[in-house]
Structure 1
């Protein structure tokens, strides 16, 4: 009987206590950071440790097939800069990224303007059509276009021969045509991303600005130059940054369609990095190339941000 009373009194005292967090004198701001700290620590470890490890590897001769690690300083970077294949891959990257992103930007802005001009009933239909290529995985896209451009069973060659009466080009055999082919596929898949970002910016422009321009009798080109373009320049900048970062990391489509060929015509830096790391098994040189890619991407991104005054 006495034991039962003792247990009940203990339970009553425990139940009457305030929760631990209420009894600790701590601000809500600090409490939020305490809850976020484990997740932030894990993400920081997963992001910072590989980066530091990559920098450390880039200063070593680090064959992935052996256990030897030899400090070489900047020798890996010097070897890359003096390599003709690296310079060729850098030129291919500049051509691929520059042409594809430029054309995607022009087409994306034009299609976004067209999408905004449509009536409410047609907008959802065309918006769905525009976004379809982007939702496909790059591997599926590469395999699809590899079949479409096949010289024997490809539908594209069949249509060119039967409907246009022309000889189809060698899509992946000629260096110039192969680069144009992978650029075309990249434009087909990633123009919708720019369309959606720019279209969201167009919807945020007040209609009163266009009404005032119509009252003043401003031509369409002037309206676009002085009203539309200044209002969506930040959205265009965001779209270009996203596409540049993604374009530098392109691999799947080019590898599946051309395998970096013919020769090294479409071997951009990301494919060259793959071959250095997993074909030549040169971990140190691959790490140095990865650091160079990262620095170039950050520099271009910061240049765009500063150019648009977004900092």
Structure 2
């Protein structure tokens, strides 16, 4: 009897999951399935709701909703303001991301060339702009470029240089928001490329130096292939974030002067919350999603990432 009681106690102390005949794969999915279902609902429901809204006349201020098919898409694609916003998005995203990739790669190479003593110091300095929230960044630059109390104009005045119309002319307004975006998000490229540089074996550089290869040849045949995928990742991250830029542009220029800095995301905000046209806003959001996916897939395919 004592032996049977001891066996029963051991059986009771054994975890329930160990007594059930469940495979490891089924056990993993049983834990993951609730989270997967919740994430699918939170992702799919708004997406399907957006598709449904885009096919309807959906006034956000109240009113009758009616099925209009693809009329919202036709109205957007045929509108001059959409074409202007699309062109502004191409200019803003193309210039800012290109400059960030070039400047970020150069600064990552400089950071990689430093000794281990100085790397943490410069890495901290480089990363500071990225940790500032976009709202704080927009307000800070708005004050710095202010015509009366801005420190940038004051320094230019002391240097005897002409003071540009930072947000008053179309060209300078676009230039200003691009500079702010480059200032804030170049550190992301630096950190990603720097991680790629650390993954390149040092033996490759030593062999190239022994063979007497010049620096440009080393960069072209060793460094650049070694960081190619990291550059693609940085480009994808920045493109996805740049397409969704809103806060900095809205705080600094509000899409102006006129519509010279109104990118698609700013135009989407105006269609939804100023014009209160929910159907067109949903259609514009889906168009922006398609543009983002096509662009990122093109970049990944260009560098050989399948």
- Interval of TM-score (by shorter of Structure 1 and Structure 2): over 0.9
Is 1:146 the counterpart of 2:148 in the alignment? no
Is 1:95 the counterpart of 2:91 in the alignment? yes
- 1:233: which partner in 2? 228
- 2:262: which partner in 1? 267
**Structure 2 unmatched runs, 5+:** none
Q: CA deviation at 1:171?
A: 0.3
Q: CA deviation at 1:67?
A: 4.6
Aligned residues: 302
2:15, 2:205 → 1: CA distance? 58
- 1:6: which partner in 2? none
Is 1:107 the counterpart of 2:103 in the alignment? yes
Q: How does 1:116-127 map to 2 (within 5 A)?
A: 116-127=112-123
Q: CA deviation at 1:272?
A: 0.2
Q: Secondary structure at the match of 1:165?
A: coil
2:11, 2:210 → 1: CA distance? 71
2:95, 2:78 → 1: CA distance? 26
Is 1:177 the counterpart of 2:172 in the alignment? yes
Q: CA deviation at 1:14?
A: 7.8
| TM-score when normalising by structure 1 | 0.94
Aligned match for 1:39, one of 35, 40, 63: 35
- 1:258: which partner in 2? 253
**Structure 1 unmatched runs, 5+:** 1-8
2:37, 2:215 → 1: CA distance? 52
1:238, 1:61 → 2: CA distance? 38
Q: CA deviation at 1:21?
A: 2.0
Q: Secondary structure at the match of 1:126?
A: helix
Give the aligned CA root-mean-square deviation in angstroms. Answer: 1.6
Q: How does 1:209-224 map to 2 (within 5 A)?
A: 209-224=204-219
2:88, 2:189 → 1: CA distance? 23
1:89, 1:14 → 2: CA distance? 72
- 1:24: which partner in 2? 20
2:260, 2:242 → 1: CA distance? 16
| TM-score when normalising by structure 2 | 0.96
Q: Secondary structure at the match of 1:26?
A: coil
1:160-188 C-alpha deviation (Å, 9 max, x unpaired): 000x2022101000000000000000000
1:61-84 C-alpha deviation (Å, 9 max, x unpaired): 000111522110000000001111
1:171-207 C-alpha deviation (Å, 9 max, x unpaired): 0000000000000000000000000000000001111
The range that moved more, 102-111 or 13-22, is 13-22
- 1:192: which partner in 2? 187
Q: CA deviation at 1:15?
A: 7.4
- 1:244: which partner in 2? 239
1:200-247 C-alpha deviation (Å, 9 max, x unpaired): 000011111001110111110010000000011000000000000000
Q: Sort the Cα spacing of 1:211 and 1:59 in 2 relative to 1 into closer, same or farther, 3 A.
A: same
Q: CA deviation at 1:305?
A: 1.0
- 1:287: which partner in 2? 282
